[in-house]
């Protein structure tokens, strides 16, 4: 029997709750497809800091090194709670960025998807949504401002100062742009290049390299767009976008806006792909405001499992089945509380009920050959 080792990083806040639902689904997928998922839970994030004194303990690194894929829950604490952890050990700086660096997971795929039938979840008007929203945001994940040199101190005038560098080399830019073009080739052959070349030198270099890479993909139409304008167009005319490619921080911000136009960050899964290792995580944070209440939307976590099935294990049809199973639950009139207000005519369900309903939808589907 084929065996895949999967490291499970439950994380913080709603992480453990939505991980339970992902595990429920992975066990079903394994059973249906006669494969074995060897699942190993391992601490990561703020919970790991309190448990073992490190946000990314060595034991977790070992489990991840040996895994065929990593499934990660969101990490982080509320603003106030974060202060209990030293700045450099706080979950993003102490765990998330080191995880990305360790496996060079430079290509972050963030689907922003809402079929027409579920348009009522979106805060946008039906005439804006049209046939639905279907965008793939491709975000560079291991460069730019988040990974550049950082310096803080007192300057000559006696003032506290900070200096953070936005660094990219041409190979990093070329690598992510190739991912953008390859993805566009598989979809509508339109690539929106999101940048800020009117201000940032990094965007000027980015665009120079884009022109070079474009020569290898003449079939792809490139649309140039400044990041500030892109933020507006995501609200006013999301239908114009198919594949969007951008640097790290722009992708962080615009992809959360993607969740906003869908109706909830709970609809945002992601895949973070490196040359030898990939990890999968919801795009959102640990949602401390709703943690422990069994009301988080686990779609983002189960969607990350679907992406893992496709990108890491080549189980494309089962991944499609899983997306379909989740959509069917919503199409039957169920909703998690993030997507609907009480009294809006939907049947409100909890985190665990969503997982159970997805499992029963999937169980009813034919098993891929």
Residues assigned a catalytic role: 146, 196, 228, 252, 256
CA dihedral 292, 309, 114, 8 (to 10 degrees): 20
Contact between 180 and ligand NAD (CB under 6 A)? no
Q: Supply angle C-alpha 45, 103, 256, rounded to 5.
A: 60
CB of 367 to ligand NAD, least distance (A): 28
Q: What residues have CB less than 8 Å from 65, skipping those under 6 apart?
A: none
288-307: which residues touch ligand NAD (CB under 6 A)? 288-290, 296-297, 300
CB-based contact 9:44 (threshold 8 Å): yes
Q: Of 105, 183, 203, 286, which lies in the binding site for ligand NAD, with binding defined by CB under 6 A?
A: 286
Contact between 285 and ligand NAD (CB under 6 A)? yes
Q: Of 23, 287, 302, 357, which lies in the binding site for ligand NAD, with binding defined by CB under 6 A?
A: 287
The DSSP letter of residue 95 is: I
Instruction: With CA atoms as reference, report the closest residue to 105 among 145, 57, 69.
Output: 69
What is the rounded CA–CA span in Å between residue 132 and residue 262? Answer: 10
CB of 152 to ligand NAD, least distance (A): 19
313-352: which residues touch ligand NAD (CB under 6 A)? 338
Choose between 225 and 271: whose C-beta lies nearer to ligand NAD: 271
* 3-class SS of residue 90: coil
Distances (CA, A) of 143 to 28, 64, 148, 171, 303: 37, 21, 7, 11, 25
Contact range with ligand NAD by CB under 6 A, out of 74-82, 114-122, 178-186, 216-224: 74-82
What is the rounded CA–CA span in Å between residue 188 and residue 52? Answer: 48
Contact between 95 and ligand NAD (CB under 6 A)? no
Choose between 10 and 281: whose C-beta lies nearer to ligand NAD: 281
CB-based contact 20:83 (threshold 8 Å): no
What is the rounded CA–CA span in Å between residue 331 and residue 298? Answer: 16
Q: Of 43, 74, 144, 258, which lies in the binding site for ligand NAD, with binding defined by CB under 6 A?
A: 74
Contact range with ligand NAD by CB under 6 A, out of 31-39, 138-146, 173-181, 281-289: 281-289
Q: Of 122, 264, 304, 321, which lies in the binding site for ligand NAD, with binding defined by CB under 6 A?
A: 264
Contact range with ligand NAD by CB under 6 A, out of 68-76, 139-147, 164-172, 239-247: 68-76
CB of 336 to ligand NAD, least distance (A): 7
Locus of tokens 């969101």? 74
Q: What residues have CB less than 8 Å from 36, skipping those under 6 apart?
A: 1, 2, 3, 4, 30
CB of 352 to ligand NAD, least distance (A): 13
CB of 282 to ligand NAD, least distance (A): 6
Q: Where does this chain bind ligand NAD (CB under 6 A)?
A: 14, 74-77, 92, 96, 264-266, 281, 284-290, 296-297, 300, 338
């Amino acid at each position: 029997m084929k065996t895949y080792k999967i490291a499970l990083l439950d994380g913080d806040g709603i992480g453990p709750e939505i991980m339970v639902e992902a595990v429920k689904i992975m066990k079903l997928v394994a059973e249906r497809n006669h494969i074995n998922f060897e699942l190993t839970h391992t601490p990561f994030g703020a919970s790991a800091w309190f448990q073992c004194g490190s946000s990314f303990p060595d034991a977790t690194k070992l489990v991840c090194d040996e895994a065929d894929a990593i499934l990660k829950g969101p990490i982080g604490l509320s603003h106030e709670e974060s202060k209990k952890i030293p700045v450099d050990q706080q979950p993003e700086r102490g765990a998330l960025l080191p995880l990305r660096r360790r496996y060079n997971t430079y290509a972050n795929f963030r689907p922003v998807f809402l079929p027409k039938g579920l348009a009522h979840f979106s805060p946008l008007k039906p005439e804006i949504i049209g046939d639905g929203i279907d965008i793939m945001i491709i975000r560079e994940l291991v460069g730019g401002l988040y990974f550049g040199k950082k310096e803080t101190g007192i300057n000559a005038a006696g003032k506290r100062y900070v200096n953070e560098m936005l660094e990219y080399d041409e190979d990093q830019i070329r690598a992510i742009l190739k991912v953008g073009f390859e993805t566009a080739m598989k979809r509508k052959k339109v690539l929106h290049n999101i940048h800020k070349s009117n201000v940032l030198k990094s965007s000027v270099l980015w665009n120079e390299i884009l022109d070079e890479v474009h020569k290898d993909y003449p079939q792809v139409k490139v649309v140039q767009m400044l990041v500030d304008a892109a933020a507006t167009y995501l609200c006013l005319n999301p239908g114009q976008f198919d594949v969007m490619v951008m640097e790290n921080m722009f992708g962080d911000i615009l992809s959360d806006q993607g969740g906003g136009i869908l109706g909830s960050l709970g609809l945002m899964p992601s895949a973070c792909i490196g040359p030898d290792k990939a990890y999968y995580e919801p795009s959102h944070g640990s949602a401390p405001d709703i943690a422990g209440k069994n009301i988080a939307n686990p779609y983002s976590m189960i969607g990350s499992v679907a992406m893992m099935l496709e990108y890491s294990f080549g189980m494309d049809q089962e991944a499609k089945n899983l997306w379909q199973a989740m959509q069917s639950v919503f199409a039957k009139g169920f909703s998690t509380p993030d997507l609907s207000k009480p009294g809006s005519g939907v049947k409100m369900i909890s985190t665990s009920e969503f997982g159970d309903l997805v499992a029963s939808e999937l169980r009813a589907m034919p098993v891929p050959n």
